[in-house]
């Protein structure tokens, strides 16, 4: 059987972290009472007009720069028409013709064969980033045959990031999205929490034989976590391969990921083959961005967005942070990945390092093996850890000063985990885990053991 | 009367205490009642008007009026949002819809102390050129009942039969034009997308100003074509139009298509001088169907300018003949898009059909829109289909640019203002007008006015003379972008020259008591 080449592309919608919506002044807030954050414009009351939110533009520019994109100094807004209850105006304002940023790239790392020690860097091309409105939410109440519409989310700013089909499996897709998430969170342009709907991922999957053209692709939606993303993509790849090998065909359709069953199912033809009747948005002039060269002298800088100004103020991106950690602490690159991947773990690690004489190279083992595995076992975040960095540093100091053995240290750690407020020293004393340094004391103990086991000693001497 | 800064002569009367805002308001309200047969108003805001008049009166007593508009009764076309007041667009779609906010232009009028007497009638959603296709019935041109018209037209019967040959008011801002023409208010807001302010102004014998696109905020104006709509101003004389313009123009942060430059309200010279100006006569505006009367009037007007020393030349706007089709493509496309929001979910009429969301949408929209609106939505969606977009929408945009460039070239060659007819003929009798459908009529009637909307240019109708049948005929001036001052100066000069007669309406005479004598003199200031 000829090998199959899976091809995976992603369309990611990231909710912009801003105080107000993309085109109106209503607040942006998660889980507010239904329809409490809806302005006249959001409700599509006739006669209202969109006014562009500056912060959203800056967020998109930041993100574009962080993803190595070219920022379009002139970009346009369009209307994308379709009828749905959560789209009050009957159209979404988006950027179809000329988006704000194009042609970027994202570097991410995957492990080979699940070994953390072998990481490979991959690149995925970023086709474009566009600004667009989020829709409201509709909840289907089947028992009463009605749909409830909440417009709080309608009009919130989104950045749609389109990743080219450069990925080949679920793991790569998840790793790429994870890296994007970290970048967005570092920039502050989006909080990118998938569980809160701030980061939504749709996967485009197809398979083909090497040397042949790309196969028909399906779109997979309803993916709510990185884990499910990997599962959904891998399932779909498998499904398509099986389908094609048994002589079937792949339909160009939209499928939903069912997390309970772990498979993809065809979606109710919500949009079908829609003609969105794109039309320029006549109420918004072209978005013009400036850089230091093109900025007119007498322009009020409150009125403009300066790309260079934003570039200068970009924080260290995750890749830079990781490199710095490796250099500063002498840890391995794969360690730096884990540190950044867990929210708050880098800070915890650095706090411990600052409070102990133990070398960072050794501390990292405690952080990644002991602390992290305990947290994972109990499904806790770093913030929820019952062992604080101060307490762990305390423990590590005892170990470093050779007051306890490393086995004893692990025992103490297990005790500390109970979170009963005892210090490491308390536990050491309680359980008599002190390492005995005194030579004479050690001799006495040995003598006592020998005296207590005379028969065994004779056996050993005679042998 | 005080001349100079106060252009509304009635403002002088208010200032001098010759009449109080409340009296003025009451006169207008009772005149509205006695001219009810004109059907110019959809909603008469009697209570709020009297309250506003009361507030104005207090200010006058304190000697602190807000400005020239303080205490002046005004009317607003029913496609502008007015807080707490029904805004229907003459459609079942929005019957009973109470706006929660004021359009910017409405707010500005109210902030100046103007008294809002009512919302005026129009073609449904501003689609039409007769004000005959709204759900509240057609607007009747006040001139139908004027002595001038009755004397000239063959009497159908000897009785005072108000049902006889009344003529249309023009559209789509027919209600606003009729309201101003019949003295029930001193100024009215209309809208102009293809001529909707200038056309009814011409038929009703009033001044109708279409400002440059981007000069006045559209926030709160329920849109027809976002890239062409402007709020229009209807008054009885050019000076009044300049005054209202001054209180409305300027950047609005709520409307991203308004220009940022600060607007400087201007006063027109008392004795305008046109001797140094260059007037262009576009030959393509001698359109098929142009009545011989209007043609003669146009020619006479050109001669007037010549004798005053102005340079009058024939110019060419070669793409004029493509503008109607181009307009229809772009207009219907935007209409299809703008009407997509009317699904009955958030506001307005909602059908009882509840089998599914789709069926509810379909029923709601069918029930709420008249055939004209539905027709335009279907056409527009057709033009926006992926397979048609390049051939229709994009092509039309390209033609639009050519049309705008035509004007650019002419103005660039030294012409200051263009002089053209506003309409092809005088107002038609209603029974005749409705023989053709809305689309046909619009195509015919928009031909002289909508190129200005395509190019975003300012244009104004000035009443010129009465036709042989005793009905008003107007002429149009088109100016350069944002050069309203020059445009209105020329218009004012022309107005003074032609001395258009005042309408002689029985009802108005009864209510006059000298109040409207002030207005009469304002027309000829």
Q: What is the pLDDT of residue B1?
A: 26
Region A449-455 average pLDDT: 86
Answer whether B342's CB lies under 8 Å from B360's CB. no
Where are chain B's structural domains? 6-155+162-275+424-498
Nearest chain A Cα distance for residue B217, angstroms: 10
Joined together, the tokens standing for residue A269 give 């033809």
The reply to whether residue B256 touches residue A44, judged by beta carbons under 8 angstroms, is no
CA distance B513 to B24: 11
Over residues B414-472, the pLDDT tens digits come to 999 999 999 999 999 999 999 888 878 877 788 899 999 999 999 999 999 999 999 99
Q: How many residues in total does chain A contain? A: 463
Over residues B226-284, the pLDDT tens digits come to 999 999 999 999 999 999 999 999 999 999 999 998 899 999 998 889 999 999 999 99
Exposure string over A302-321, b if 16+ CB within 10 A, otherwise e: eeebbbebbeeeeeebbbeb
CA distance B76 to A4: 68
Please return the burial class of A251, using the count of CB atoms within 10 Å of its CB with bins 0-12, 13-18 and 19+. Answer: exposed
Q: Which fold has domain B6-155+162-275+424-498?
A: Amidase signature (AS) enzymes (3.90.1300)
Q: What is the pLDDT of residue A85?
A: 87
List CB contacts (< 8 A) between A285 and chain B: 256-257
Confidence of residue B519 (pLDDT cuts 50, 70, 90): very low
Question: Which carries the bigger pLDDT value, residue A423 or residue B211?
Answer: B211
Query: Which of A46, A96, A139 should be substituted to probe chain B, the one whose Cβ sees the most B Cβ atoms within 10 Å?
Result: A46
Q: What is the pLDDT of residue A461?
A: 84
Question: Which carries the bigger pLDDT value, residue B316 or residue A451?
Answer: B316
The answer, for A282 touching chain B at a CB cutoff of 8 Å, is yes
Answer whether B315's CB lies under 8 Å from B416's CB. no
- What ipTM does this complex have? 0.91
Region B27-49 average pLDDT: 96
Q: What is the pLDDT of residue B164?
A: 64
Q: Which residue is closest to A81 within chain B, CA to CA?
A: B337
Rounded to two decimals, what is the model's pTM?
0.89
List CB contacts (< 8 A) between A278 and chain B: 384, 386, 389
Where are chain A's structural domains? 5-288, 318-431
DSSP, collapsed to helix, strand or coil, labels residue A445 as helix
The answer, for A81 touching chain B at a CB cutoff of 8 Å, is yes
Please return the burial class of A49, using the count of CB atoms within 10 Å of its CB with bins 0-12, 13-18 and 19+. Answer: buried
CA distance A374 to A396: 17
Number of DSSP helices (H) and strands (E) in chain A, helices first:
14, 16
Checking if the pLDDT of A143 tops 80, the result is yes
Region A348-359 average pLDDT: 92
Q: What is the pLDDT of residue B4?
A: 27
Mean pLDDT of chain A: 91
Checking if the pLDDT of A104 tops 70, the result is yes
Q: Among B218, B256, B339, whose Cβ lies nearest the Cβ of A52? A: B256
The reply to whether residue B384 touches residue A278, judged by beta carbons under 8 angstroms, is yes
Answer whether A401's CB lies under 8 Å from A417's CB. no
Nearest chain B Cα distance for residue A257, angstroms: 25
CA distance B14 to B64: 12
Over residues A210-247, the pLDDT tens digits come to 999 999 999 999 898 999 999 999 999 999 999 999 99
**Which segment of A283-297, B270-284, B511-525 scores lowest on mean pLDDT?**
B511-525
Joined together, the tokens standing for residue A115 give 């070994």
Residue B172 annotated among the catalytic residues of the structure = yes
Q: What is the pLDDT of residue A432?
A: 77
Region B107-136 average pLDDT: 95
Region A341-365 average pLDDT: 91
Residue B323 annotated among the catalytic residues of the structure = no
Q: Among A40, A52, A88, whose Cβ lies nearest the Cβ of B345? A: A88
Confidence of residue B155 (pLDDT cuts 50, 70, 90): low
Q: Which of B11, B77, B146, B181 is labelled catalytic?
A: B77
DSSP, collapsed to helix, strand or coil, labels residue B49 as helix
Confidence of residue B182 (pLDDT cuts 50, 70, 90): very high
Confidence of residue A313 (pLDDT cuts 50, 70, 90): very high
The reply to whether residue A275 touches residue B80, judged by beta carbons under 8 angstroms, is no
Residue B196 annotated among the catalytic residues of the structure = yes
Q: What is the pLDDT of residue A22?
A: 96
Checking if the pLDDT of B3 tops 50, the result is no
């Amino acid at each position: 059987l000829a090998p199959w080449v899976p091809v995976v592309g992603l369309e990611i919608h990231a909710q912009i972290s801003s105080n107000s919506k993309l085109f109106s002044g209503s607040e942006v807030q998660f889980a507010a009472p239904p329809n409490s954050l809806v302005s006249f414009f959001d409700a599509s009351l006739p006669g209202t007009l969109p006014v562009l939110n500056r912060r959203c533009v800056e967020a998109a520019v930041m993100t574009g720069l962080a993803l190595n994109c070219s920022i379009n100094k002139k970009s346009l807004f369009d209307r994308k028409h379709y009828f749905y209850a959560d789209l009050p105006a009957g159209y979404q304002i988006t950027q179809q013709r000329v988006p704000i940023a194009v042609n970027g790239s994202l570097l991410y790392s995957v492990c080979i064969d699940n070994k953390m020690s072998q990481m490979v860097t991959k690149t995925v091309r970023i086709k474009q980033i566009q600004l667009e409105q989020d829709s409201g939410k509709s909840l289907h109440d089947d028992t009463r045959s009605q749909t409830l519409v909440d417009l709080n989310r309608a009009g919130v700013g989104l950045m749609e990031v389109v990743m080219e089909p450069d990925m080949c499996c679920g793991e790569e897709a998840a790793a790429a999205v994870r890296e994007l998430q970290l970048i967005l969170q570092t920039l502050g342009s989006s909080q990118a929490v998938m569980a809160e709907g701030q980061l939504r991922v749709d996967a485009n999957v197809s398979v083909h034989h090497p040397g042949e053209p790309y196969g028909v692709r399906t779109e997979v939606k309803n993916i709510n976590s990185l884990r499910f993303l990997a599962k959904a993509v891998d399932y779909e790849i498998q499904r398509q391969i099986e389908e094609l090998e048994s002589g079937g065909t792949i339909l160009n359709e939209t499928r939903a990921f069912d997390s309970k069953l772990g498979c993809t199912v065809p979606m109710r033809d919500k949009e079908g083959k829609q003609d969105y009747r794109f039309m320029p948005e006549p109420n918004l002039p072209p978005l013009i961005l400036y850089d230091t060269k093109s900025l007119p002298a007498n322009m009020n800088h409150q009125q403009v967005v300066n790309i260079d100004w934003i570039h200068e103020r970009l924080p260290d991106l995750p890749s830079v942070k990781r490199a710095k950690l490796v250099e500063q602490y002498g840890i391995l690159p794969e360690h730096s990945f884990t540190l950044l991947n867990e929210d708050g773990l880098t800070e915890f690690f650095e706090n411990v390092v600052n409070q102990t004489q133990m070398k960072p190279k050794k501390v990292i083992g405690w952080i990644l093996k002991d602390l992290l595995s305990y947290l994972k076992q109990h499904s806790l975040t770093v913030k929820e850890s019952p062992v604080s960095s101060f307490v762990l540093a305390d423990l590590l100091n005892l170990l470093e000063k050779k007051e306890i053995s490393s086995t004893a240290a692990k025992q103490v750690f297990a005790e500390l985990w109970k979170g009963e407020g005892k210090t490491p020293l308390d536990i050491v004393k309680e359980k008599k885990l002190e390492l005995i340094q005194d030579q004479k004391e050690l001799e006495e103990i040995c003598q006592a053991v020998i005296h207590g086991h005379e028969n065994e000693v004779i056996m050993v001497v005679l042998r | 009367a005080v001349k100079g800064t106060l252009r509304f002569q009635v403002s002088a009367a208010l200032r001098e205490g010759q009449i109080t805002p409340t009296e003025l308001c009451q006169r207008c309200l009772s005149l509205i009642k006695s001219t009810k047969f004109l059907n110019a108003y959809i909603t008469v805001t009697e209570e709020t008007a009297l309250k506003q008049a009361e507030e104005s009166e207090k200010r006058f007593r304190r000697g602190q009026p807000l400005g020239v508009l303080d205490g002046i009764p005004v009317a607003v076309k029913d496609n502008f949002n007015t807080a707490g007041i029904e805004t229907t667009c003459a459609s079942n779609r929005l019957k009973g819809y109470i706006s929660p906010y004021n359009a910017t232009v409405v707010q500005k009028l109210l902030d100046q102390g103007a008294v809002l007497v009512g919302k005026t009638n129009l073609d449904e959603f501003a689609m039409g050129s007769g004000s005959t296709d709204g759900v509240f019935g057609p607007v009747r041109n006040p001139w139908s009942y004027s002595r001038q018209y009755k004397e000239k037209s063959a009497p159908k019967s000897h009785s005072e039969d108000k049902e006889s040959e009344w003529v249309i008011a023009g559209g789509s801002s027919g209600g606003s034009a009729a309201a101003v023409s019949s003295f029930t208010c001193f100024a009215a807001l209309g809208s102009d997308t293809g001529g909707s302010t200038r056309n009814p102004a011409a038929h009703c014998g009033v001044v109708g100003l279409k400002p440059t696109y981007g000069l006045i905020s559209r926030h709160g104006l329920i849109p027809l074509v976002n890239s062409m709509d402007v709020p229009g101003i209807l008054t009885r004389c050019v000076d009044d139009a300049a005054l209202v313009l001054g209180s409305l123009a300027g950047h609005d942060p709520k409307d991203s298509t308004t220009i940022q430059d600060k607007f400087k309200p201007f006063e027109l010279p008392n004795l305008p001088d046109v001797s140094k100006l260059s007037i262009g006569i576009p030959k393509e505006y001698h359109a098929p169907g142009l009545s011989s009367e209007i043609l003669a009037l146009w020619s006479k007007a050109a001669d007037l300018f010549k004798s005053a020393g102005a340079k009058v030349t024939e110019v060419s706007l070669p793409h004029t003949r493509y503008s109607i089709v181009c307009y229809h493509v772009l207009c219907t496309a935007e209409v299809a898009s703008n009407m997509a929001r009317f699904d009955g979910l958030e506001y307005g009429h909602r059908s009882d059909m509840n089998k599914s969301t789709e069926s509810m949408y379909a029923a709601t929209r069918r029930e709420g829109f008249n055939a004209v609106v539905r027709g335009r939505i279907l056409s527009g969606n057709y033009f926006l289909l992926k397979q048609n977009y390049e051939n229709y929408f994009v092509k039309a945009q390209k033609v639009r640019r050519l049309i705008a460039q035509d004007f650019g070239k002419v103005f660039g060659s030294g012409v200051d203002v263009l002089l053209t007819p506003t309409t092809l003929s005088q107002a038609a009798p209603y029974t005749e007008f409705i023989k053709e459908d809305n689309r046909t009529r619009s195509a015919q009637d928009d031909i002289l006015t909508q190129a200005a909307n395509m190019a975003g240019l300012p244009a104004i109708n000035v009443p010129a003379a009465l036709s042989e049948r005793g009905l008003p005929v107007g002429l149009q001036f088109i100016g350069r972008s944002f050069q309203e001052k020059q445009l209105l100066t020329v218009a004012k000069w022309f107005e003074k020259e032609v001395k258009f007669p005042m309408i002689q309406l029985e009802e108005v005479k009864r209510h006059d008591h000298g109040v409207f004598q002030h207005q009469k003199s304002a027309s000829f200031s």
